[in-house]
Chain A
């Protein structure tokens, strides 16, 4: 009994200290992130954006859209990309061996014709079988290739890209009309910027007109609402904070812009991980830090990408499991960065943080809570203390969620009504009463299923982006299916 008691007590201490340190760090990041958002919001004025559009001071962008069996949403997505407000860009869609009607839909909607074409095969990929051009939209190219996974498809797109900036964008995303303009601004302002990540927000529940999210409404399901809070916290507080500290490790695969030469320099996306987006950023950091060349990888909260998030628990848990396995694969691949002073703040702080609190977090969380619960059940720990600790964890999470919701309220396009705000408040409570724990358990198990393997496409039942003006009720109806 006394050995068990000692072990449980020790675990309890570790858990509580772990939680306290994590809370303090998260609080500090949130504060840094909030400050960054405040400055960012004043940095780019409307006048400035208009100047950019009108005066030719911009860098042309190749938007790369990897797609695998997306027949339901591909046309609406591509239409939203080709109508972006940007002076010079091209859209390259890569169908990664789709077996459904993806290509047919595209051919029909955009009058595609096959065009034999030569291009630089700088990155090696699965063979591209045909390249098609649109007769309607001069800036649209569609390529079909043998299946090789998402990273492989993006690499093929980078080969085909003509412009100095490349922007991989998920095919189930809608970009704000000015998203590219705002993101590329960072490259103009600072020559050393090699990559820019934008904010991702859940599209669920929004009204979509002409390929743009025009009005926001709360989605019907709590599982979707929870993710609204989660994304706000992750982007507005987390990434903004890391970026401000010069230690951004992730640019979301849903939307990011990279300097093409930088991506080529490091050899493109790695195809053997489930988290190719993070892996590329880590490799960029590593290569550029080693070469001694000044460089920056930044997050910019304003370019916004809207994405359809899972609306049922199994898809969501599957997604989180994939993310977690990707994270661990990447951390392991770049384990030499851990506590390596050569990589500065990144090696000494960001990477260790990711190992301890993101990579191993679920294990510590699950083991810690279980041990606290067992201690309480055996009477080693006062049940009272257990409940207080749980309450503290929930309240702390809610504070951060509310701060993130507060940042969201400062966006011009926010959830408009006070009742939506109340739902977001409730969602932040619900998140920590069960949902967060479920995800932690899923990630706990994912920790033990990690191994390098070729990235398959994450499968998620799609409701599809509505291609025609849709009323909120219709969107809600389709989400209910």
Chain B
């Protein structure tokens, strides 16, 4: 099964992510902070990372930079953020984010972007 790591601190968004992704057949690990995410990324393999930007223990962009530098450069990263400001989007894309989903989001749109990210990186669509 396709493994997704979701890093998000808001409990509602977490529950929605979990519900949406699991019902679409993905295997989801949820963490609320950067340090937990680092641990999981160092230990295991994921096919996709869903990353929130405003996290209690730091900025998601810092983790993104590290993911691209050290922690398995290939994994697609889908940034999930409420910040609609252009600078942040641009900065995220510069740092190697594959796509952006802005909160609030619609579950079907999220699933479409997830499967597109997975498809782009691996060349096929392992979503369902």
Contact = CB atoms under 8 A, between A and B. Distances in A.
Given A54-B84, A54-B85, A85 B54 contact: yes
Interface stretch (A209-217, A316-324, A332-340): A209-217
A83 B56 CA distance: 11
Contact of A83 (B35, B58, B82, B85): B58
B71 to A, nearest CB: 17
B57 interface: yes
A414 to B, nearest CB: 16
Contact of B56 (A50, A54, A87, A212): A212
Interface string A446-480: 00000000000000000000000100000000000
A383 interface: no
B57 A53 contact: no
A177 interface: yes
Contact of A212 (B54, B57, B62, B83): B57
A210 B84 contact: no
A100 to B, nearest CB: 28
A469 B83 contact: no
Interface residues of A, number: 14
A54 B83 contact: yes
Contacts of A55: 84
A177 B56 contact: yes
Name which of A50, A210, A214 has the most chain B CB atoms within 10 A of its CB.
A210
A87 B83 CA distance: 9
B10 to A, nearest CB: 10
A56 B56 CA distance: 22
A50 B58 contact: no
Interface in B31-87: 34-35, 54, 56-59, 62, 82-85
Contacts of B54: 53, 85
A50 B35 contact: no
Contacts of A54: 82-85
Contacts, number: 27
Interface in A168-216: 177, 209-210, 212, 214
- DSSP majority for the A interface? loop
B6 to A, nearest CB: 20
A209 B35 CA distance: 9
Contacts of B56: 177, 212, 214
Contacts of A212: 56-57
A386 B67 CA distance: 69
A214 B85 contact: no
A83 B83 contact: no
Interface in A23-61: 50, 53-56
Contacts of B83: 53-54
A210 B58 contact: yes
A469 B35 contact: yes
Name which of A50, A54, A55, A83 has the most chain B CB atoms within 10 A of its CB.
A54
A290 B77 CA distance: 58
A398 to B, nearest CB: 35
A50 B104 CA distance: 12
Contacts of B59: 83
Interface in B1-44: 34-35
Contacts of B35: 209-210, 469
Contacts of B58: 83, 210
Nearest to A177: B56
A322 B35 CA distance: 41
A87 B84 CA distance: 11
Interface string B82-105: 111100000000000000000000
A209 B83 CA distance: 24
A50 B82 contact: yes
B57 A210 contact: yes
A87 B85 CA distance: 9
Contacts of A209: 35, 57
Nearest to B53: A85
Contacts of A210: 34-35, 57-58
B115 to A, nearest CB: 27
Contacts of A214: 56-57
A209 B56 CA distance: 9
Contacts of A53: 54, 82-83
A56 B84 CA distance: 10
Contacts of A85: 54
Nearest to A55: B84
A394 B24 CA distance: 64
Contacts of B82: 50, 53-54
A136 to B, nearest CB: 10
A402 B58 CA distance: 34
B85 to A, nearest CB: 7
A374 B76 CA distance: 80
Contacts of A177: 56
8 contacts: A53-B54, A54-B84, A83-B58, A83-B62, A87-B85, A177-B56, A209-B57, A469-B35
Interface of A: 50, 53-56, 83, 85, 87, 177, 209-210, 212, 214, 469
Return the 8 tightest CB-CB contacts between A and B, nearest first.
A210-B57, A210-B58, A209-B57, A54-B84, A54-B82, A83-B59, A85-B54, A50-B82
